[in-house]
Chains A and B, each alone.
Chain A
Amino acid sequence: MSTGKLLLQATGICKKFSGVVALDHVSLDAKAGEIHAIAGENGAGKSTLIKILTGAYTPDEGKIIFDGEEMIHTDPRRAMQAGIACIYQELNLIPHLTVTENIFLGREYRLVGHTNVLDRSRMRKEVGELMRELGLAIDPDARIATLGVGQQQMVEIARSVRSNAKLIIMDEPTSSLSEKDAEELFRIVHRIKARGVAVLFISHRLDEMKNHCDRVTILRDGSSVATLKIAETSVDEIIKLMVGRDITNKYPKVKATWGDVVLAVEGLTRKGVLHDISFELHAGEVLGLAGLVGSGRTETARVIAGADPLDKGRIKVFGKEVRIREPRDSIDAGIAFLTENRKEQGLILIQSVEFNSTMVKMEQYAKGSILDLAKLKAMTEKMATGLRLRAASVKMPVGQLSGGNQQKVVIAKWLLSHAKIFIFDEPTRGIDVGAKVEVYRLINELVAGGAGIIIICSEMDEVLGMADRILVMHEGRITANMMRSDATQEKIMYAASNVSVN
């Protein structure tokens, strides 16, 4: 049990990003020799909290005491020197160097003073000892590129241990591991725990948390709602605390009448990403795709939109099978895909509102291939007025608009493509509440007009608030299909973490 001394004590941590509250008086503590889990939905504030602890962000308010000393104005280097190490999902190793070289990177032993001659044998010997101590069968001379992901993670852990880290933060370490590798990981985590290291463990896999952690702190909407001893709680209680909030009247949901099936996918498979995804979408339906980050929601959308190739499976639009090899095929079939990253994938920031709004199926504004400039302008202005776009003129570069207005330009672009099937991937990310409601209203208008809509959102109440039917995904598979009337946050969370309901 965790009876070690208090190592980390963070109290009242607040962080805002351009006015949006990411963390609101969060408190967290960790004792030496405990594995402390942090649980929360996507966007609950876990990443922000980690970045504050590792010194990547400076909190606006609050106090962090680590190992008896208050940490003020910490930067990543100072946090590291103080003994805080973080193992991110994307591993920080240099693939072409050996295990030893990676572990000693930047802290190499030298033969004589400050010369550049390395003491290779001493480093190799120490790494060998370290591996034995941790019970790892990894060759110190192996190149990182030749190791599996699981072993690479072990190397990262070994590196943190060697640098005398007192607190090791692990950000979803098992998300990319097989069950066997994950078990191996926990064996090592328990070993370093036994050495008196505190481990902060962030995971979406609640069963793992239950089996291996000592305590759990639950974050919700940027607040820490509870810290519980794992032995005294249940997965049910954790889920309830993660999602427990009222769905306020944020969602102006209007149910449209369903028509025929507009989109049917059968057995969509993309190796290692999607496994046998099948579903149907009706005219007038809003279908929500729920699931945790990395569960395959966006990947499903991408193969339907032709952004990624498909290994197996069929896509039928209005009952007819279509071969989608590139985005153009999908667009021609009447599908619009509104990507989650507006700036990277949706917009050309240096170009105008007009340019962006009219770039899909531009031939509709042209006679032959000569553009009708007046028509371009007129269509854009009509759309901008309809969407209540706030821009000085349609000639304004979209890079200078606010997030909500940028999203409206993306929407304008796809409305002008005359699609009948819309896939919205995180349509309200990074936009303010007012703009969100406008997006929801627009979704209502679209389904009222007979369009079929797939909406992907990480915020669970948004799915519950807007979707008629919800598909839940977990690791590339559909794990639940529920109607709006049956759906609850708890049910979705169970399916998303693939824990069976007791």
Chain B
Amino acid sequence: MTSVADQLEKGKKGSMTERLYSLGVLLSLLLLCLIMSFLSNRFLTMDNLMNVAAQAAVSAIVSIGMFLAILTAGIDLSVGSILALSTMVMGVVGVNWGFGPYTSILACLATGAFLGLCNGLMLTQLRLPHPFISTLGMQKMARGIALVITAAAPISMFPEPVTYLGSASVGGIPVSFVLVAVLYIGMYLFLTRTTTGRYIYAVGGNKEASRLSGIRVNGILNLVYTISGFTAALAGLVLAGRVDAVYPLAGLDYETDAIAAVIIGGASFFGGVGSIGNTIIGVLLIAVLRNGLNLLNVDSAYQTFAIGAVIIVAVAVDVVRQKFMVAR
């Protein structure tokens, strides 16, 4: 038996490790920026930073859903494909069928949420063993449909309301940045100040204990994957506005960056641990890394390699960190 004093000491150490980690991620981001600014004189230009932020905005929105999925000890591999299919549906509804801009926006978001709900139902009703399977299947199915509905052709010429989120600015600040800020603050409040938010953490921390405490675990999981589908579609809307087009190969590999961002941000693959605030730091870190490698003219093959390595290192760190947190 360890003494009470030992336990208190351990408790302090536990929360300290957490805080140190958060600080560490932020410092890594600053360090990375510092290194980039030395290596490339274009890095610290306003144009470039805005470019980084604009790219990060899409990834940041996708990462919200990914964060929730990982928080419940799951994963959502279908976010990139859902992004593509939702925006293709928007293109077909708005441009090909001639519905109004708001109807097409609604179609986009509803498609994303619906596909997300399907992911959830495959997990909770069809009882597939792990969301890895259901969302991998969804990734392929959604991408497939996105490709066939226009025979792989992109759609462009959207009216202003559709492109607003992705391209407009208010007082020099892009609307997409405001959107990201609102979403992250909203999600933070949702997760920490509402019963449902806490239930998500509870389900991620221990499904059986949550169930026995009267939490409807399946409902929570369905909600999480629905939100993930919704945020993927919303990210698609921002992307479509920025490039003024929707195309079936949009969002390819976005899940990888989102997973990397969430894990770097300190969420645990074991579930139940993580803060949405740190996720945005993870998103920025990945964005800076990609941008920096671009500025240095590093072949995209090496970028792909780098992201892969980052994920493995981040998860390895997580494994060690978990040992410290629950020492008993």
Known contacts A351-B201, A397-B14, A344 near B208 by CB under 8 Å: yes
CB-CB under 8 A from B213, the residues of chain A are 327, 331, 359-360, 413
B4–A390 CB distance below 8 A? yes
Stretch among B167-175, B235-243, B320-328 lining the A interface: B320-328
> Is the CB of B11 closer than 8 A to any CB of chain A?
yes
Kindly name the residue among A19, A327, A344, A360 whose own CB sees the greatest number of chain B CB atoms within 10 A.
A327
CB-CB under 8 A from B10, the residues of chain A are 400
Q: Give CA–CA (A319, B8) in the complex, Å.
A: 47
A331 CB contact (under 8 Å) in B194, B196, B214, B328: B214
Stretch among A29-37, A160-168, A200-208, A367-375 lining the B interface: A367-375
Known contacts A349-B205, A355-B202, A359-B213, A400 near B194 by CB under 8 Å: no
A345–B209 CB distance below 8 A? yes
Q: Give CA–CA (A371, B194) in the complex, Å.
A: 5
CB-CB under 8 A from A347, the residues of chain B are 206, 209
Known contacts A307-B212, A327-B213, A400-B14, A370 near B328 by CB under 8 Å: no
Q: Give CA–CA (A432, B2) in the complex, Å.
A: 12
CB-CB under 8 A from B215, the residues of chain A are 328, 359
B210–A348 CB distance below 8 A? yes
CB-CB under 8 A from A355, the residues of chain B are 198, 201-202
Q: Give CA–CA (A349, B271) in the complex, Å.
A: 12
A351–B1 CB distance below 8 A? no
What's the least CB distance linking B241 to chain A, in Å? 32
**How many A-B residue pairs lie within 8 Å, measured between CB atoms?**
112
B325–A366 CB distance below 8 A? no
B206–A391 CB distance below 8 A? no
CB-CB under 8 A from A351, the residues of chain B are 201-202, 205, 272
Known contacts A326-B216, A392-B12, A399 near B328 by CB under 8 Å: yes
Chain B minimum-CB-distance residue to A368: B194
> Is the CB of B193 closer than 8 A to any CB of chain A?
yes
Known contacts A327-B211, A331-B214, A345-B212, A370 near B194 by CB under 8 Å: yes
> Is the CB of A346 closer than 8 A to any CB of chain B?
yes
A369–B195 CB distance below 8 A? yes
Q: Give CA–CA (A371, B210) in the complex, Å.
A: 18
> Is the CB of B199 closer than 8 A to any CB of chain A?
yes
A397–B325 CB distance below 8 A? yes
> Is the CB of B273 closer than 8 A to any CB of chain A?
yes
> Is the CB of B7 closer than 8 A to any CB of chain A?
yes
Complex interface residues of chain B between 179 and 217 (CB less than 8 A to chain A): 193-196, 198-199, 201-202, 205-206, 208-216
> Is the CB of A440 closer than 8 A to any CB of chain B?
no
B11–A402 CB distance below 8 A? no
A362–B195 CB distance below 8 A? yes
Complex interface residues of chain B between 1 and 21 (CB less than 8 A to chain A): 1-2, 4, 7-8, 10-12, 14-15
A360–B214 CB distance below 8 A? yes
Q: Give CA–CA (A331, B214) in the complex, Å.
A: 7
B202–A359 CB distance below 8 A? yes
Chain A minimum-CB-distance residue to B218: A326
Q: Give CA–CA (A173, B206) in the complex, Å.
A: 33
Complex interface residues of chain A between 312 and 340 (CB less than 8 A to chain B): 326-328, 330-332, 337, 339
Chain A minimum-CB-distance residue to B325: A350
CB-CB under 8 A from A326, the residues of chain B are 211, 216
Known contacts A392-B8, A400-B7, A359 near B216 by CB under 8 Å: no
A361–B209 CB distance below 8 A? no
CB-CB under 8 A from B208, the residues of chain A are 344-345
A350–B326 CB distance below 8 A? yes
Interface residues on chain B, number (Cβ under 8 Å):
35
CB-CB under 8 A from B8, the residues of chain A are 392
A399–B325 CB distance below 8 A? yes
Known contacts A307-B212, A359-B215, A392-B12, A350 near B273 by CB under 8 Å: yes
> Is the CB of A261 closer than 8 A to any CB of chain B?
no
CB-CB under 8 A from B1, the residues of chain A are 18-19, 402, 432
Chain B minimum-CB-distance residue to A372: B193
> Is the CB of A396 closer than 8 A to any CB of chain B?
yes
Q: Give CA–CA (A391, B15) in the complex, Å.
A: 14
B272–A371 CB distance below 8 A? no
Known contacts A345-B209, A349-B206, A371-B198, A400 near B214 by CB under 8 Å: no
Known contacts A371-B194, A392-B11, A397 near B326 by CB under 8 Å: yes
A350 CB contact (under 8 Å) in B4, B210, B272: B272
A344–B214 CB distance below 8 A? no
CB-CB under 8 A from A396, the residues of chain B are 11, 14-15
What's the least CB distance linking A202 to chain B, in Å? 29
A400–B327 CB distance below 8 A? yes
What's the least CB distance linking A191 to chain B, in Å? 43
> Is the CB of A305 closer than 8 A to any CB of chain B?
yes
Q: Give CA–CA (A19, B210) in the complex, Å.
A: 32
Complex interface residues of chain A between 391 and 445 (CB less than 8 A to chain B): 391-392, 395-397, 399-402, 413, 432
CB-CB under 8 A from A129, the residues of chain B are none
What's the least CB distance linking B1 to chain A, in Å? 5
Known contacts A351-B202, A399-B326, A363 near B209 by CB under 8 Å: no
Q: Give CA–CA (A400, B1) in the complex, Å.
A: 12
Q: Give CA–CA (A52, B193) in the complex, Å.
A: 51
CB-CB under 8 A from B210, the residues of chain A are 348, 359
CB-CB under 8 A from B211, the residues of chain A are 307, 326-327
Chain A minimum-CB-distance residue to B198: A362
B194–A402 CB distance below 8 A? no
CB-CB under 8 A from B325, the residues of chain A are 350, 397, 399
Q: Give CA–CA (A332, B214) in the complex, Å.
A: 9
Complex interface residues of chain A between 286 and 330 (CB less than 8 A to chain B): 305, 307, 326-328, 330
CB-CB under 8 A from B209, the residues of chain A are 344-348
Chain A minimum-CB-distance residue to B204: A348
CB-CB under 8 A from B195, the residues of chain A are 362-363, 365-366, 369, 371
A399–B272 CB distance below 8 A? no
B11–A391 CB distance below 8 A? yes
CB-CB under 8 A from B214, the residues of chain A are 327-328, 330-332, 360-361
A328–B205 CB distance below 8 A? no
B194 CB contact (under 8 Å) in A327, A369, A392, A397: A369
Chain B minimum-CB-distance residue to A332: B214
User: What are 19 of the A-B contact pairs (CB < 8 Å)?
Assistant: A331-B213, A345-B209, A346-B209, A346-B212, A348-B202, A348-B205, A350-B325, A350-B326, A351-B202, A351-B205, A359-B198, A359-B199, A365-B195, A370-B193, A371-B193, A371-B195, A373-B193, A397-B325, A400-B327
Report B's interface with A, CB cutoff 8 A: 1-2, 4, 7-8, 10-12, 14-15, 193-196, 198-199, 201-202, 205-206, 208-216, 272-273, 325-328
Given contacts A349-B205, A392-B11, A399-B328, list 4 more A-B pairs with CB under 8 A: A327-B212, A348-B210, A371-B194, A400-B14
